[in-house]
Amino acid sequence: MRILWLFLTLLPLPLVCSNFVNNTENLLWGAYRPNLYFGLRPRLPQSLMTGLVWFGTQNYQSIAKARHACDQGDGLDSYTWTHFNPRQGGVQILRDSQNNVEITTEFLKVPGGSHGGSWVARIKGAPLNPKFPSRISTIFYLGLEGLGGVDMVTDESENGIDGPVEFSGTTPDLGDFTIRIVDAPDNEAVTTGPHSEAFEERLGKTHLAGLRLPPGQLWTAKDHIMQSIVNRASPIVEKYRTAEQAPDPSFTLQLPDDILTASNLFAVQKFFEGEFQFDVFFESASANQTFDASTIDQGIAAVVASFNSRFEETFPIPPSYPANDVTPLKSFSKAITSNLFGGIGYFYGTSIIDKGFAYEWDQDDEIDAADDGQNGARLTEPRALLTATPSRSFFPRGFYWDEGFHLLHIGAWDTELSLEILKGWIKLIDSDGWVAREQILGEEARSRVPAQFQTQVPTFANPPTLTMAVTAIIKKFNAAHDGPSAADLGIDYGINVQMPIASEPESSAVLDRAAVQSVLRDMYKPLKRHYEWFRRTQRGQIKQYGRRARSRTEGYRWRGRSEAHVLTSGMDDYPRGPPHAGELHLDLISWMGFFTRTMKDFAQFIDEEEDAASFAEIESAIINNIDDLHWDEESEMYCDVGIDSDDESTHICHAGYVSLFPFMLSLLPPDSSHLGPILDMLHDLEQLWSEYGIRSLSKSHPEFGKGENYWKGPIWVQINYMVLGALHNTYAREEGPFQEKAREIYEELRRNLVNNVFKEYQRTGYVWEQYDPLTGEGQRSHPFTGWTSLVTLILAEIY
């Protein structure tokens, strides 16, 4: 058969590869479907996508539990990339004891040619417990959306195929390519274990389906593939009264070996018992390379070696760290970092926004968006985003304030990748300056979100963390240029191997100031528009407390809160006062102080002197008003401002994360007399202190552990990271009456937090969204390798 040309859409594809400080071409392909256990795609809106499905063939029930999208309900014992470099590839290990199999997925990117390079994937399996059989069927699928076509080159056969399966295809962006799926040379020989006799015949046979999905439906590939297996099996199996009487599932649960005309989805199924291995070679014709098993043998060895040495340079565990043996801690740190990197996804599609929605207490606001009659929930134009994700299983999509933390971590490893991701987020800032908190782009992303959470509202904010990434780059740049350069230090990131893996990203020490400035300058204007949107739309009324405030303007209130939740603050059910147009939120004014300070540093770096001066003024006005409006003498803590039933303003004080904000964001001067009581509360076992980290709400608070108990006590790693950063960079470093205390607390907190997250990882196989404030046990979503992965930065003391 020859290539079929499918013109599913005639829309031109936007150019995605951009001119950057240096090229980003080796970022075209990635494990950019992190919602899947193993899903590859290029960062192109419509193109080639792959996925992996597996199920046990030990019985007929297992097919209902076929594995594909990461799902806590699958009950995998663990799954994590152990090594992953976004420019080169990596290794992932998945443990599935319900099917007694450990699956390893290797992904190797091979640069070359003029279409973003080629890649090789290796999928291998072995019984977790060799004493018992491990019977698995794997399905590797590839599908194409958009312009171009793919077709199977290998001849079809009604009874399955022996030997490799080959496809060839072409798209405007990828050019011509071939895909070959090849068993390990001796898959039968490596297939060990007690086979059933009938099963022997099955070894080495590959079954196929070629299906035709309507445009935009490729993300549902698994459902169609499983349906075609069921369609074939049902008439056979129905003849038997019980599953026990039916033939061995490996004879019946097969793809139909039928390729429809104009197929755009191809599924390749294999049956194994015991160990197995097969490779998928994607060869871009323009690169003119032919791969075989040795390509990935050598390539992955090189990727792992290169990852390990770069990790030592970038995220070392200081020798002073108190641990008898740092080896397991180091593998853990590598795994969480790799999983953050392997969690980077590319998303494309429409989202839902409602320009007219407002809660009662927000209704007096001047409506920010032009009144263009666009009220009610509507679909937007499709948009693209390359972003890290908090949790591959539960929240596999972009979240605004999570991303600032992700970018700190990514940027410490690869400055230019963090800038590339940041650029994408900045592109989403609309003409008013708004960007949606949750990026639910396209139907696949939407399918994971209950309807009532899908709509985003253009007056709702979320903590402004994105500038963290910018200031981290500036800081890194300045440090590199003050100190010796990488070359002076004799660091050579290139490694000498046979395989053409992508070269390491440049260290920031060799980035040119003018080049960095020019990239940042492009981001400055939209970020400033975003900043101004915050100041305009989240402004609070300073009526009554205004008597005591030095600044008449700097007071802030989160829009879009409900009675029970302030989702916009990021700390959903943290206790607050009753909703009121006159309330003022401490965390938001602190975030605005932080945002202003980082914008000031940004303006300075790109020589926008006037702006820098005006940011400096606002910053000090904010710092003054934090004291004037929010410090409560009686309870000796910073508090929200609320309006009571007599219409009087009053402090709403809840000891916990909110009350720490001025300290946590280093807005308090180190000699502030308020620092003492804050540190006391922080270090008090009856309040915020635990052996496992800082609690979100004081143990002595009447609501501690109550209700939803999401932000009413549990320990969150990113907040602990901010506390550690404030201690390390400011209060333990700068002279002041509490410097010694800050130092002690820093050391103790760092140990507590690291030890607990690590201990829980060893105990459960996962890192978690949050940790129990009384026992330290991991809870809620897992794996949660978004900001919980900051433990790597905490170990390396990068704040």
Instruction: Find out whether 717 and 684 touch, Cβ atoms under 8 Å.
Output: no
Choose between 220 and 729: whose C-beta lies nearer to ligand 6A9. 220
The C-alpha atoms of residue 514 and residue 21 are separated, in whole angstroms, by 10
Note whether 399 binds ligand 6A9 by CB under 6 A.
yes
CA distances from residue 17 to 10, 23, 420, 525 in whole angstroms, order as listed: 20, 8, 10, 22
What is the three-state SS of 246-273? CCCHHHHCCCCCEECCCCCEEEEEEEEE
Of the candidate spans 63-71, 219-227, 394-402, 516-524, the one that interacts with ligand 6A9 by CB under 6 A turns out to be: 394-402
- CB of residue 399 vs ligand 6A9: minimum separation in angstroms? 4
The C-alpha atoms of residue 400 and residue 101 are separated, in whole angstroms, by 37
Binding pattern to ligand 6A9, positions 372-391, x when CB under 6 A?
A: ------------------x-
Choose between 37 and 54: whose C-beta lies nearer to ligand 6A9. 37
Residues 6+ apart with CB under 8 A from 335: 80, 81, 82
Choose between 5 and 453: whose C-beta lies nearer to ligand 6A9. 453
Note whether 494 binds ligand 6A9 by CB under 6 A.
no
Choose between 167 and 716: whose C-beta lies nearer to ligand 6A9. 716
Choose between 354 and 365: whose C-beta lies nearer to ligand 6A9. 354
- CB of residue 573 vs ligand 6A9: minimum separation in angstroms? 8
Residues 6+ apart with CB under 8 A from 481: 509, 513
- CB of residue 393 vs ligand 6A9: minimum separation in angstroms? 10
Region of residue 244 (left: phi > 0; alpha: psi -120 to 50; beta: else): alpha
Binding pattern to ligand 6A9, positions 192-211, x when CB under 6 A?
A: --------------------
Note whether 450 binds ligand 6A9 by CB under 6 A.
yes
The C-alpha atoms of residue 165 and residue 44 are separated, in whole angstroms, by 26
Q: Tell me the angle at which helices 586-605 and 609-630 cross, rounded to the nearest 10 degrees.
A: 160
Note whether 279 binds ligand 6A9 by CB under 6 A.
no
Phi then psi for residue 386, to 5 deg, are -95, 120
Of the candidate spans 43-51, 396-404, 500-508, 537-545, the one that interacts with ligand 6A9 by CB under 6 A turns out to be: 396-404
Q: What angle do CA 177, 180, 181 make, to 5 degrees?
A: 150
Member of 177, 315, 395, 534 binding ligand 6A9 (CB under 6 A): 395
Strand locations in 285-351, DSSP E? 345-349
Pick from 580, 126, 584, 44: which is nearest to 346 by CA? 44
Pick from 724, 732, 783: which is nearest to 757 by CA? 783
Choose between 119 and 347: whose C-beta lies nearer to ligand 6A9. 347
Binding pattern to ligand 6A9, positions 563-582, x when CB under 6 A?
A: -------x-x----------
Member of 55, 278, 401, 615 binding ligand 6A9 (CB under 6 A): 401
Site for ligand 6A9 in 103-142 (CB under 6 A): none
- CB of residue 142 vs ligand 6A9: minimum separation in angstroms? 28
What is the three-state SS of 750-790? HHHHHHHHHHHHHHHCCCCCEECCCCCCEECCCCCCCHHHH
Q: Look up tokens 């990727």; give the residue.
A: 303
Element (H, E) at 331: helix 327-342
For the chain, the helix, strand and coil percentages under 3-state DSSP, each to the nearest 5: 35, 20, 45
The footprint of ligand 6A9 on this chain (CB under 6 A) covers a number of residues equal to: 11
Residues 6+ apart with CB under 8 A from 169: 3, 48, 144, 148, 149, 150, 151, 176, 177, 178, 179
Member of 362, 402, 608, 640 binding ligand 6A9 (CB under 6 A): 402
Choose between 256 and 398: whose C-beta lies nearer to ligand 6A9. 398
Choose between 457 and 668: whose C-beta lies nearer to ligand 6A9. 457
Q: What angle do CA 442, 443, 448 make, to 5 degrees?
A: 110
Member of 184, 236, 449, 581 binding ligand 6A9 (CB under 6 A): 449
Of the candidate spans 83-91, 175-183, 355-363, 398-406, the one that interacts with ligand 6A9 by CB under 6 A turns out to be: 398-406
- CB of residue 341 vs ligand 6A9: minimum separation in angstroms? 17
DSSP 433: S
Choose between 349 and 398: whose C-beta lies nearer to ligand 6A9. 398
Site for ligand 6A9 in 638-667 (CB under 6 A): none
Of the candidate spans 267-275, 447-455, 531-539, 732-740, the one that interacts with ligand 6A9 by CB under 6 A turns out to be: 447-455
The catalytic site residues sit at 572, 769
Pick from 511, 340, 430, 422: which is nearest to 18 by CA? 422
Of the candidate spans 247-255, 347-355, 356-364, 445-453, the one that interacts with ligand 6A9 by CB under 6 A turns out to be: 445-453
The C-alpha atoms of residue 72 and residue 783 are separated, in whole angstroms, by 9
Site for ligand 6A9 in 774-793 (CB under 6 A): 786
Member of 194, 453, 492, 518 binding ligand 6A9 (CB under 6 A): 453
* Interface ranges with ligand 6A9 (CB under 6 A): 390, 395, 399, 401-402, 449-450, 453, 570, 572, 786
